Amino acid sequence: MSSKRIKNGWAFYDWANSVYSLVISTAIFPIYFNSVSPEKLALFGINYESAALYSYSLSAAFIVVALLSPILSGIADYSGNKKLFMQIFAYIGSASCLSLYFFDASNIFFGLTMSALASIGFWGSLVFYNAFLPEIAKPEEQDALSAKGFSLGYIGSSLLLIFNLLMITFPESFGLTDAGQATKISFLMVGLWWAGFAQVTFRRLPNNINNRKPKESGYLWRGFRELKKVALHVNQDSNLRKYLYAFFFFSTGVQTIILLASLFGDNELGMESGKLIATILIIQFVGIGGAHLFSFLSKKFGNLQSLKISISIWAVICVLAYLLDKADPFVEYKFYGVGALVGLVMGGIQAIGRSTYSKLLPVTDSHASFFSFYDVTEKIAIIFGTITYGYLIQITGDMKASALSLSAFFILAFVQILRIKKTKNVY
């Protein structure tokens, strides 16, 4: 397997790209979008709740990634160019974040488009990033390495978010005119951070581990053939198939909560932006310990037991979110408590989820194709979750019912985990 330098370089990409998932998709951008957007937006002659339309824009981004990633990952496996494709998507994401500097109340749909493109860049690059894990680490090393990546991501993104929060809160101290300008500069910083720190990963990761030497033509059709092989294997491997069902259900809940938590706190609970970002920071710092806690639990009790514990806590979180009441004088502190609980299991379920799938894979040199199934499953889950969430908001005008509905997905995931048979690497 690979050297420590390569493994650390791989994990460092989480440090580079997690600023997008925190600052853009979770913290500052949703709050800024909500502040500059009218309550309703018209698209193709139909009026939408702005929060619902934002949710739908994310769905559209994930549809694009879900359609592209299987084809590109098959080509990457055939050609050995996983790193090249990872770079292309990373730079698309970075450039889109930079362009958000020009987003304001006069060009709402430009902001939604650039936000969607940034999402495509982020999730597209992860298809190839995740596919490196089984190639550079042994099965017994993957839980810890996966958790290390998420921990680096939490630390790096939290540091930038704290700095951005200081700029937004005290713009004059940084020579800025107001919080709006500080917010736009935050978007610039995310793009520069992502592209800049990703260079560490790009320098260290090998480009063609399996030394493939493809012919000049037939890339596209080779990609489809690789995917067909993977589909046949997944259909025949009952454990892998059951795990992908479980992964679909818990990803629907987890990713929808992460993407729309800020809008929930803003719209449903009326919390100030500073308090919302403070909650997100609580989630991040608790998440550092949570990722390592569940890595320890998986080592002691096994991946499946760790996932069952995490999924159960997520279901409880959905119920607690539903019970939060804007009129409650202690709602702010209860929201902080729910945020801490989210942080405890957020990093854990993502790190263990990734490494569990990696351990279930057969011996293969087509890891990008196998991980495309993993990533496409996640994207379809997010599409389903965000559309469901947005639709419920649209018809009820209430985000609490949407939050409660997510608990059903965690229950279904728990049932699927129970059906997985224990193996040497996964128990």
Tens digit of each residue's pLDDT (9 = 90 or more) over 337-380: 988 888 888 878 877 887 888 888 887 766 667 877 777 788 88
pLDDT band at residue 13 using 50, 70 and 90 as cut-offs: very high
**Is residue 211 a part of any domain in this protein?**
no
**Minimum mean pLDDT range among 115-129, 209-223, 377-391:** 209-223
Q: What percent of the chain has pLDDT over 90?
A: 27
Instruction: Please give the tally of structural domains in the chain.
Output: 1
pLDDT at 7 over 70: yes
User: Hey, which bits of 372-423 come out as E strands?
Assistant: none
Q: What are the start-end ranges of the H helices in 216-272?
A: 219-236, 238-263
Measured distance CA(58)–CA(383) in Å, rounded = 8
Residue in the structure block whose two tokens are 């309703």: 40
**Is residue 141 a part of any domain in this protein?**
yes
**Is residue 227 a part of any domain in this protein?**
yes
User: Are 425 and 301 contacting, i.e. CB atoms less than 8 angstroms apart?
Assistant: no
* Distance set, CA 330 to CA 166, 258, 333 (Å): 26, 23, 6
Tokens linked to 420: 């997985």
**Is residue 184 a part of any domain in this protein?**
yes
SS3 49: strand
Q: What is the mean pLDDT of residues 204-230?
A: 66
pLDDT band at residue 405 using 50, 70 and 90 as cut-offs: confident
pLDDT digits (tens, 9 = 90+) for 77-109: 666 678 888 999 999 999 999 999 999 888 888
pLDDT at 55 over 70: yes
Higher pLDDT, 44 or 200: 200
Measured distance CA(380)–CA(65) in Å, rounded = 9
CATH code of the domain covering residue 42: 1.20.1250.20
Contacts of residue 7, defined as CB under 8 A and 6 or more positions apart, other chains included, come to 136, 137, 141, 145
Measured distance CA(402)–CA(25) in Å, rounded = 19
Q: What is the mean pLDDT of residues 115-136?
A: 87
Tokens linked to 211: 């030394």
User: Are 322 and 268 contacting, i.e. CB atoms less than 8 angstroms apart?
Assistant: no
User: Are 364 and 322 contacting, i.e. CB atoms less than 8 angstroms apart?
Assistant: no
Q: Which domain holds residue 13?
A: 4-206+219-418
**Amino acid 224: pLDDT:** 66
**Is residue 131 a part of any domain in this protein?**
yes
pTM for this predicted structure: 0.74
**Amino acid 90: pLDDT:** 96
Tokens linked to 384: 């389903």
Contacts of residue 364, defined as CB under 8 A and 6 or more positions apart, other chains included, come to 370
Residue in the structure block whose two tokens are 């999402």: 119
User: Are 347 and 150 contacting, i.e. CB atoms less than 8 angstroms apart?
Assistant: yes
User: Are 30 and 186 contacting, i.e. CB atoms less than 8 angstroms apart?
Assistant: no
pLDDT digits (tens, 9 = 90+) for 142-162: 878 887 887 898 889 989 988
pLDDT at 221 over 70: no
Residue in the structure block whose two tokens are 């650390």: 8
**Is residue 427 a part of any domain in this protein?**
no
User: Are 265 and 283 contacting, i.e. CB atoms less than 8 angstroms apart?
Assistant: no
Tokens linked to 413: 């995931």
pLDDT digits (tens, 9 = 90+) for 251-310: 988 878 876 777 677 777 777 777 777 887 888 778 778 877 887 888 888 889 999 999
